[in-house]
Amino acid sequence: MNELIEVVDWSRAQFALTAMYHWLFVPLTLGLSVIVAIMETIYYRTGNERWKGLTKFWMSLFGINFACGVATGLILEFEFGTNWSNYSWFVGDIFGAPLAIEGIVAFFMEATFVAVMFFGWNKVSKGFHLASTWLTALGVSLSALWILVANAWMQYPVGMEFDPAQMRNVMTDFFAVALSPVAINKFFHAVFSGWTLAGIFVIGVSSWLLWRKRNISAAKSSLKIGAWVGLAGMLLTLFTGHGSAVEVSRVQPMKLAAMEGLYQGSVGADLIGVAVLKSNPEQTPDDPMLFSIDIPKGLSYLIYADGEHFVPGINDLIAGRSITAEGDTVYGLSYADKMALGRKARTALADYSKALEANDSNAIIAAEKEIKENFPYFGYGYLEKPEDAVPPVATTFYAFHIMVAVGGLLFAVLLLMLFASYCKTNVLEKSWLHIIGIFSIVLVWICSQAGWIVAEVGRQPWVIQDLMPTNAAISSIQSDSVQFTFWLFAVIFTALLIAEVSIMLRYISNASKTDIEKTR
């Protein structure tokens, strides 16, 4: 048992490490591809060569980041087979189909047009080159779409049914998988947050050029576009973020409770603004906060557009407790009940296998019926106690509130930079503004990583919501081998990150010593 726990923990740590490093590159790729396309569009429409120079400058930074994202992304996909083979079998073609589409369509689309984008200058027409740049940006977004469709299915499994003969799930409705509200919200939220991150990145680099008094004209033009794209991304991220929270409350209520540190639900639940959890909040569920500043009834209104709606807490969900609009307390399935039903499904699956071997048609039909009735709770049958279904509350809670707080600061930075870029009093020449712009690069990546932590840590222990926990998804491997690859990947990814940052800094520094508005 200890060996199993170690394999699970190290496999989770390895996947989290790879995913977080990969997510350092993905948002910048999503947003910078759009900014590059906008700049080339301006060049195409005006014929002004300075915009061609600016396009090439930011395109080079996009290329450096794109290459690193591909490297980490490939390793991430391989880990499904090496560390999570039980999961890979259990999901059948449902998880593989979106990833296959991503590889066959989106990735090849990116690879084709990115080559034209980088090497097609003066070899193809201006219109075709511009189209290639926009198609590269579209390909990057389509790649994110299919990956996030697969991820969303793990968090909200739809469009499938379990086939006991194959011991795996089979897809019954492709469009239910591809167009689920969780997938759509997750995709747009990720893409628009990428616009925000890239806009802040462009602002930060431009602020550095202004601070060093180099390429001032280019820096001001870039900063203005970065501010507009970043602000548009921020507003749309706020909108899709609200939509994502509504979907989380519907399909992953335990994640929402962890995000808010809510142990005891209430009618008219408050929304936490600033708070610190007690060291053991589960021991004082009525008052888990060391201190907090709340918005009265804010959570109920935000999620349900009704300030008097009941929002369940962690203990309510475990007990299956809810409160009706009339104020009556009612009980549905508790987590203990779901665990019992999950064990029934597992037992029925074992009975099905025995009946199949004995060619007992009546027993097969009875087992199939039992599996179908209880399969929605199949994963609960692997839990030892109801509390095992509670995610790491402190990690989820603080990551969520860091994301919100830093996002608010970045919103203010974007408004400030946009105002400064149009101000006639030369505010853009102020050193304090440059420092804010440079430091905002750090803040935007903190915000981005915090959001990813909320999405993934908040759904633990589930690999597939309600159907498969992590301890049932791993491969039959030794913990020593997972530990070795964890540290190997940690070293490689860190070296890759250092290399990317060094190359980017060297490129920015060298380019700043020449006129980047001149085409080369």
Question: Residue 201 above 90 pLDDT?
Answer: yes
Q: How confident is the model at residue 515 (pLDDT cuts 50, 70, 90)?
A: low
Domain C-terminal end among 331, 362, 377: 331
Question: Residue 206 above 80 pLDDT?
Answer: yes
Summarize the confidence of residues 274-284 as an average pLDDT.
Answer: 85
* Cα separation, 132 vs 148, whole angstroms: 24
pLDDT of residue 85: 81
- CB atoms under 10 Å from CB of 305, counted, come to 9
Segment 417-454, tens digit of pLDDT: 999 988 877 778 888 999 999 999 999 999 999 999 99
* Cα separation, 438 vs 431, whole angstroms: 11
501 plus 373 within the same structural domain: no
Question: Residue 51 above 60 pLDDT?
Answer: yes
* Cα separation, 270 vs 299, whole angstroms: 5
Question: Residue 191 above 60 pLDDT?
Answer: yes
Question: Residue 235 above 80 pLDDT?
Answer: yes
Question: Do residues 464 and 154 lie in contact, with contact meaning Cβ atoms separated by under 8 Å?
Answer: yes
Q: Rounded to the nearest 5°, which phi and psi values hold at 423? A: -70, 140
234 plus 110 within the same structural domain: yes
293 plus 369 within the same structural domain: no
Higher model confidence: residue 37 or residue 509? 37
Using DSSP's 3-state secondary structure scheme, residue 66 falls into helix
Question: Residue 223 above 80 pLDDT?
Answer: yes
234 plus 273 within the same structural domain: no
**Rounded (10°) angle between helices 181-211 and 431-457:** 160
Residue span of the structural domain in which 150 resides: 2-252+397-510
Q: What is the pTM of this model?
A: 0.91
Given CA atoms 349, 253, 314, 397 in this order, what sign does their dihedral have?
A: positive
Whether 392 is covered by a domain: the verdict is no
**Interstrand relation of 168-171 and 160-163 (parallel, antiparallel or unpaired):** antiparallel
264 plus 244 within the same structural domain: no
Compute the chain's Rg from CA coordinates.
25
52 plus 184 within the same structural domain: yes
Summarize the confidence of residues 321-345 as an average pLDDT.
Answer: 88
324 plus 424 within the same structural domain: no
Q: How many domains does the chain have?
A: 3
152 plus 34 within the same structural domain: yes
How many CA atoms lie within 13 Å of 382's alpha carbon, on the beta-carbon side?
Answer: 18
Q: How far is CA 274 from CA 98, 293, 322, 500, in A?
A: 39, 5, 27, 35
Chain position carrying tokens 């590269």: 136
350 plus 229 within the same structural domain: no
